[in-house]
Structure 1
């Protein structure tokens, strides 16, 4: 019996030994993917712009809330005066129709709000979803049933209706960006929990997880040392797709009056307000929509690259399939 335990402990040590080099292998695989590196650079640039928004607006000499009524044509309903929506040395991307607020300032300040809300909501979703999913898969059958039913209820909850209900009880003094992030995160974690639970049930049947449990490790240690590394790939990939989804959710909540309210800018709010101006002032729609599209595309490509770097077997299967296809074409 003691020899068997020694063998199990040795197997567990053998499994965890390569963990030290796992980070280096991940970065080496990620660097081999040019598209993922470009996407990472775009995401880093967007985050940098969001963080440096006050500095950028001060360099331009404008801010996101000051009205410039003299720069819009009131006779035409508030259309910006000048070519290309009033683009010039003082207003780098033009001005907002009807109000005359600087579009560049609102775009970079809106990046702080939209990205901040999206990343914060995603973090809340991942933390709750991973905790519930792992607990359901590793716990008893009774606990699994309870947590699974709670997860089903969370998935079925309509986000917009729940947000409107929360608006009635949350004081108006509560910061709206924080409220939106909490509403999205606390209501929309169900799919993360389902993915994590399914993946954890699969990992539980692997030899190295069984060896760790037989060696006397507790459930928390098994989850932290053996399960979480295997969950990293699907969770990170899904989280990268959640960020643009959460940006869209923030836009919908802002449209319903629950989310970020003027004069605080956000990309979703700008796109919503631009639906009546896209013909008279197309840049008012194109700039925030372009920023949102770029963010979605970059995060999607980066998420796929991270998945491949964390799961090299996917890249191996792709290369094998490509090689077979080439041989068939050559034949």
Structure 2
């Protein structure tokens, strides 16, 4: 309906105005933020490393589960033999204390688990949150009350405590990676549902939505054609900020011993095993901690850049790598364009 109204208005004028697509506008605003571009490059590199973990470990000639007892000094409590934790041509980042497993292989395979769980949990949270929020805003008053109270209960739940309780009672035979993804996704959708409900209620009062409803369109068609495009910006923004949060939750659960179980590598699990080796083998602690820090920082900066690019009126929370802004929140590059 909104597209039809725009076409009719354009047909009645003599001047042709070249339209700039939303994707090009978004990319132009995002490109003006240097920190966001650097963060996007780091995230892309991490994703490539996670996807190419089998190829990278094959090039090294190692795998994440094979023990190498000859590479550890049992007389010293299992400290890796050699300097820098056994670093060398066969083991690019050294080996794990007590087990001798290759650290590089476990680090890149751990990226697959940490990033995979976070992305899958984010998709699940967004799907549930959008469905519940839109249904509450478009449904009857009774349905709105029921879904809103259920959302309040979910938001009030302490995520870590509920996750610990659920993960502790589920049988060990259930795939742990899938279980962690489900627990994070099924508990963390409350905030996105509230955002979607509030945004949908605001969009319902717009003229083009009212015109679509008066023309006889069904509720599902109005939601699909008129409301979902308006929900894209806040949903994408919140999703970009959810991913680093979910990575931290997965790492915390693995660190507490209820997340991904050995021998499947995970950054949080590696931190759990490394907490007693920070003096004898510091690289065993620093490598997963550094990878986790860089990943969360890059995703947070990228998420803030996406938020600012989608809503140029909102100034960036991170005053790094952004163009100079005037009082309206528009960067100098955008003003020139």
**TM bin (shorter chain):** 0.7 to 0.9
Aligned position for 2:251: 251
1:229 aligns with 2:235: no
Which whole-Å CA distance do the structure 2 matches of 1:255 and 1:37 have between them?
Answer: 31
Assess, with a 3 A threshold, how the Cα gap between structure 1 residues 92 and 9 changes in structure 2: closer, same or farther: closer
* Offset, 1:319: 2.6
Assess, with a 3 A threshold, how the Cα gap between structure 1 residues 134 and 54 changes in structure 2: closer, same or farther: same
Assess, with a 3 A threshold, how the Cα gap between structure 1 residues 31 and 279 changes in structure 2: closer, same or farther: same
Q: RMSD of aligned C-alpha atoms?
A: 2.9
Paired residues of 2:241 and 2:304 also in contact (CA < 8 A)? no
Which whole-Å CA distance do the structure 2 matches of 1:143 and 1:117 have between them?
Answer: 32
Give the alignment partner of residue 5 of structure 2, picking from 4, 11, 16.
11
1:125 aligns with 2:122: no
Which whole-Å CA distance do the structure 1 matches of 2:75 and 2:241 have between them?
Answer: 44
* Offset, 1:188: 1.4
Assess, with a 3 A threshold, how the Cα gap between structure 1 residues 266 and 48 changes in structure 2: closer, same or farther: same
* Offset, 1:10: 5.0
Structure 1 gaps, min length 5: 1-5, 325-331
Higher mean C-alpha deviation, range 279-288 or range 57-66 = 279-288
Assess, with a 3 A threshold, how the Cα gap between structure 1 residues 323 and 227 changes in structure 2: closer, same or farther: closer
Aligned position for 1:299: 299
**TM-score, normalising length from structure 1?**
0.86
1:57-93 CA distance string (max 9 Å, x none): 0100111111112222222222222222211111111
Paired residues of 2:315 and 2:329 also in contact (CA < 8 A)? no
Assess, with a 3 A threshold, how the Cα gap between structure 1 residues 13 and 183 changes in structure 2: closer, same or farther: farther
Structure with the higher helix share, 1 or 2: 1
Higher mean C-alpha deviation, range 176-185 or range 64-73 = 64-73
Paired residues of 1:232 and 1:310 also in contact (CA < 8 A)? no
Which whole-Å CA distance do the structure 2 matches of 1:263 and 1:232 have between them?
Answer: 39
Q: How does 1:20-39 map to 2 (within 5 A)?
A: 21-39=21-39
1:74 aligns with 2:74: yes
Paired residues of 2:84 and 2:94 also in contact (CA < 8 A)? yes
Aligned position for 1:319: 325
Paired residues of 2:63 and 2:105 also in contact (CA < 8 A)? yes
Assess, with a 3 A threshold, how the Cα gap between structure 1 residues 162 and 313 changes in structure 2: closer, same or farther: closer
Assess, with a 3 A threshold, how the Cα gap between structure 1 residues 32 and 175 changes in structure 2: closer, same or farther: same
* Offset, 1:250: 1.5
Number of aligned residue pairs? 318
Assess, with a 3 A threshold, how the Cα gap between structure 1 residues 251 and 201 changes in structure 2: closer, same or farther: same
Q: Secondary structure at the match of 1:320?
A: coil
Higher mean C-alpha deviation, range 281-290 or range 229-238 = 229-238
Q: How does 1:46-125 map to 2 (within 5 A)?
A: 46-125=46-125
Paired residues of 1:251 and 1:272 also in contact (CA < 8 A)? no
Aligned position for 1:173: 173
1:246-295 CA distance string (max 9 Å, x none): 12221232234432100110011111221111122111111111111111
Q: How does 1:168-247 map to 2 (within 5 A)?
A: 170-247=170-247
**TM-score, normalising length from structure 2?**
0.85
Paired residues of 1:247 and 1:268 also in contact (CA < 8 A)? no
Structure 2 gaps, min length 5: 12-17, 317-323, 331-337
Q: Secondary structure at the match of 1:280?
A: coil
